[in-house]
Structure 1
Amino acid sequence: MESDRRRFLAFAGLSPLVLLGAGNALAQSAPCYSPEALTFSQKSRRRSLGFMDVAVDPKRRCGGCNFFTAGEGGCGNCQMLGGAPVTANSSCSSFAPRS
C-alpha cells in the first residue's frame, strides 16, 4: 500500500514536467500553414508533386532544396508550389539539392 502511494506521488510530481515538455514539442512543431486555408489549386499542385508534410527521407527535406526559401521557425516558401508555405521538414518529388 505504501509503495502505491509513493509511486502515485512520484508520478504526480513529474506530470507537470512531462506536460511542459509536450507543450514545448507542440510549439516547435506548429504548422506553417493551415491545410483548410489552401485553395483547390494549391491542394492539387501539392498532390501532383507528391508533397508530404513530413519527409520520409531526411536527405530530401524541403530545408535542403534549391526551391525552398527559409522563413521563421522552420517555415518557408516553395517555388515549385507557387510560393506556398511549407515546413523545412516537408518534401516532394521535385526535390533539387542546393549546390
Structure 2
Amino acid sequence: MIASRRSFLAAAALAPLALAGKASAEPAVCYDPNALPLSQRSRRRALGYVDASPDPAKQCGRCSFFTAAAPGCGTCTMLSGGAVNGGSVCNSFARKSAT
C-alpha cells in the first residue's frame, strides 16, 4: 500500500504542472467563428487568417495592425477591428517596430 500511496502523491504533485502546460498550449478563445458576420469571414479568408500561426515569430500579437485587449486576445486593423487571437496570423503580417 505504501508504494501505491507514493505513486498517487507523486502523480498528484505533478498534475498542476501538466495542466498548466496544456492550458498555455491552447490558443485563446477570443471570438466565436460561427457568430462572425459574413464580411468578417470573407475578409479573414481573403487575408489567409489562421487561428494558430505555424511560425512563432509571426503572430498577430507581434503585428503592427494588432491592438491588445484581453489576455491573448485583441483586434486587428486589417480586419476592420475584428477580434483575433494573439497567436494567430494572416498574410498581411507586419512586424511591430522595435521602438
Fold conserved between structures, TM > 0.5: yes
- 1:19-58, aligned counterparts within 5 Å? 21-22=18-19, 25-26=22-23, 29-58=27-56
- Letter in structure 2 aligned against 1:98: K
- Letter in structure 1 aligned against 2:48: G
Q: 1:90 to 1:84 in 2, by over 3 A?
A: same
List alignment gaps of at least 5 residues for structure 2: none
Larger radius of gyration: 1
Q: How many residues align?
A: 95
Q: String of CA shifts for 1:38-69, please: whole Å, max 9, x gaps.
A: 11111110000000101111121111111000
* Cross-structure match for 1:76: 74
Q: String of CA shifts for 1:3-47, please: whole Å, max 9, x gaps.
A: xxx5x7666552685378437734864411111111111111000
Q: 1:32 to 1:12 in 2, by over 3 A?
A: same
Q: CA RMSD in A?
A: 2.7
Q: What is the TM-score of this pair, normalised by structure 2?
A: 0.75
Identity value in percent:
43
